[in-house]
């Protein structure tokens, strides 16, 4: 029996520009490029796009306003467009854009939906940028006055995880090694073809928020990605390689990290994944790629343990042993998460969906996981306020 959310929509086209630092490129130039690529990849005509649902670019109020008020379909001449909106849930935004597309499609309001994201951090004045990221996701009353930063919050989570699991600094650094190994093979990463740092090199980088080293933090970067979503019925008629959404599960934790109870995250990761897999009718053994997006290293072992893919407290071992690396038995975050990709605001989540589709379309080049049929993917917003788990497949089952 097919459950409610299963197999209603498919990604049929993707577009992306490499992540990097290019202040000379305007966001609109990037939007043109990724949207054109995605529509052309889908096999649809530009006028077949009936709605544009955009992932909100963070820290860019002017661009957000332009996109909110319909500039994308106008610029691109999407003559068939009936509706437009922007969606913001931080790093979880892309999941919500896809859900909105699903509603538009299943209700008959739109047959094909374009979901783009662009962020050009490098053209935002540095003080504004520091200010934005210092305050975003922080409570102005209960956190910010004490000097919280994203790095410091993650530093605290990392210390707690190390305390509970006995993980060593070497264990934590090995996660970065694994992520960067994927990034080195990814032409869309800012670390493409760059030497992968060793555990020793990571640990000898300066301490930013002890126990978090500089090379365990994210580099802010510019980038953009887009996808075209249609109904599952229409998808195989327009493309040879539709990528179906098979299941979903979501859980909300808290806005303030300090209020997150001890096992809230592990329980939430587990339950949302179980729901997504159950909806898809799959078991975790069926999953070929774990496309995990958590923006910093520490979430990865917690996720792996929560999903029951390793012994409790042993989440780092797979990263150390190469099981998660390219060619490993458990391909994990095949764009290298934000650490490997460069942090494009909420765009890492868009890029992760695009990668999920790319792998299932068989277009992932050197990173291609042979015979990949099913991909598990998650997104998470704010300072880790929630987790949205999804399962994708190259065929309806």
Which spans of this chain sit near another protein (rule: CB under 8 A)? 127, 130-131, 134, 139-149, 151-153, 155-160, 163, 206-212, 214, 217, 256, 258-259
Closest CA relative to residue 354, chosen from 9, 16, 49: 16
Nearest approach, Cβ of residue 135 and another protein (Å): 8
Strand 9-20 relative to strand 212-213: parallel, antiparallel, unpaired? Answer: unpaired
Write down the residue that tokens 């109870």 correspond to: 261
Distance CA(240)–CA(236), nearest Å, equals 6
- In the complex with another protein, the residue whose CB is nearer, 77 or 147, is 147
Give least dist CB 387 to another protein, A.
20
For tokens 């990097």, the residue is: 20
Neighbouring-strand partners of residue 53: 85
Closer residue to another protein in complex, CB, 61/258: 258
Choice between 65 and 130, CB closer to another protein = 130
208 half-sphere exposure, CB direction, 13 A CA radius: 19
C-alpha 224/C-alpha 120 separation (Å) is 8
Neighbouring C-beta atoms of residue 165, cutoff 10 Å: 17
Residue 358: how many CB atoms within 10 A of its CB?
A: 25
173 or 307: CB nearest another protein: 173
Separation CA 376–CA 303 (nearest Å): 12
What is the closest distance, in whole angstroms, from the C-beta atom of residue 170 to another protein in the complex?
A: 19
Q: What is the DSSP string of 28-65?
A: HHHHHHHHHHHHHHHT--GGG--EEEEEPPTT-HHHHH
Q: How far is CA 263 from CA 158, 175, 303, 309, 382, in A?
A: 15, 22, 12, 17, 19
- Closest CB 347 distance from another protein, rounded Å: 21
> CB of residue 193 vs another protein: minimum separation in angstroms?
27
Closer CB to another protein, residue 129 or residue 278?
129
Give the nearer residue to another protein in terms of CB position, either 264 or 274: 264
Between 128 and 311, name the residue whose CB sits nearer to another protein: 128
Residue 214: CB minimum distance to another protein, A = 8
Residue 23 Cβ vs another protein, minimum distance, rounded to whole Å: 21
């Amino acid at each position: 029996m097919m459950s409610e959310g299963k197999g209603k929509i498919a990604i049929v086209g993707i577009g992306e520009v490499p992540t990097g630092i290019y202040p000379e490129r305007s966001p609109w130039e990037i939007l043109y490029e990724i949207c054109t690529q995605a529509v052309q990849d889908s096999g649809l005509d530009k006028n077949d796009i009936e709605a544009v649902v955009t992932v909100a670019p963070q820290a860019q109020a002017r661009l957000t306003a332009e996109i909110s008020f319909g500039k994308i379909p106008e610029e691109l001449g999407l003559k068939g467009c009936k509706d437009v909106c922007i969606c913001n849930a931080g790093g979880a935004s892309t999941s919500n854009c896809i859900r909105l597309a699903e509603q538009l499609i299943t209700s008959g309001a739109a047959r094909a939906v374009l979901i783009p994201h662009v962020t050009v951090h490098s053209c935002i004045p540095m003080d504004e940028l520091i200010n934005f990221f210092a305050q975003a996701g922080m409570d102005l009353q209960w956190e910010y006055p004490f000097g919280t930063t994203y790095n410091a919050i993650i530093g605290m989570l990392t210390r707690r995880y190390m305390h509970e699991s006995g993980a060593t600094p070497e264990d934590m650094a090995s996660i970065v090694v694994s992520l960067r190994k994927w990034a080195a093979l990814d032409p869309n990463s800012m670390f493409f073809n760059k030497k992968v740092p060793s555990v020793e090199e990571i640990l000898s980088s300066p301490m930013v928020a002890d126990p978090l080293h500089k090379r365990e933090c994210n580099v802010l970067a510019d980038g953009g990605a887009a996808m075209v979503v249609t109904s599952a019925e229409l998808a195989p008629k327009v493309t040879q390689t539709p990528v179906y959404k098979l299941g979903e599960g979501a859980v909300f934790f808290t806005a303030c990290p300090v209020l997150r109870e001890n096992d809230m995250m592990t329980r939430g990761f587990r339950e949302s994944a179980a729901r997504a897999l159950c909806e898809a009718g799959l078991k975790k053994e069926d999953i070929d790629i774990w496309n995990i997006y958590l923006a910093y290293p520490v979430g990865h072992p917690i996720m792996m343990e929560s999903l029951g893919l390793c012994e409790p407290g042993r989440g780092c071992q797979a990263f150390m042993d190469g099981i998660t690396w390219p060619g490993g038995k458990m391909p994990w975050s095949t764009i290298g998460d934000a650490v490997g990709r460069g942090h494009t605001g909420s765009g890492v989540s868009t890029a992760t969906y695009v990668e999920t589709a790319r792998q299932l379309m068989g277009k992932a080049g050197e990173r291609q996981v042979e015979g990949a049929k099913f991909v598990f993917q998650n997104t998470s917003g704010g300072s880790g306020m929630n987790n949205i788990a999804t399962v994708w497949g190259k065929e309806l089952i």
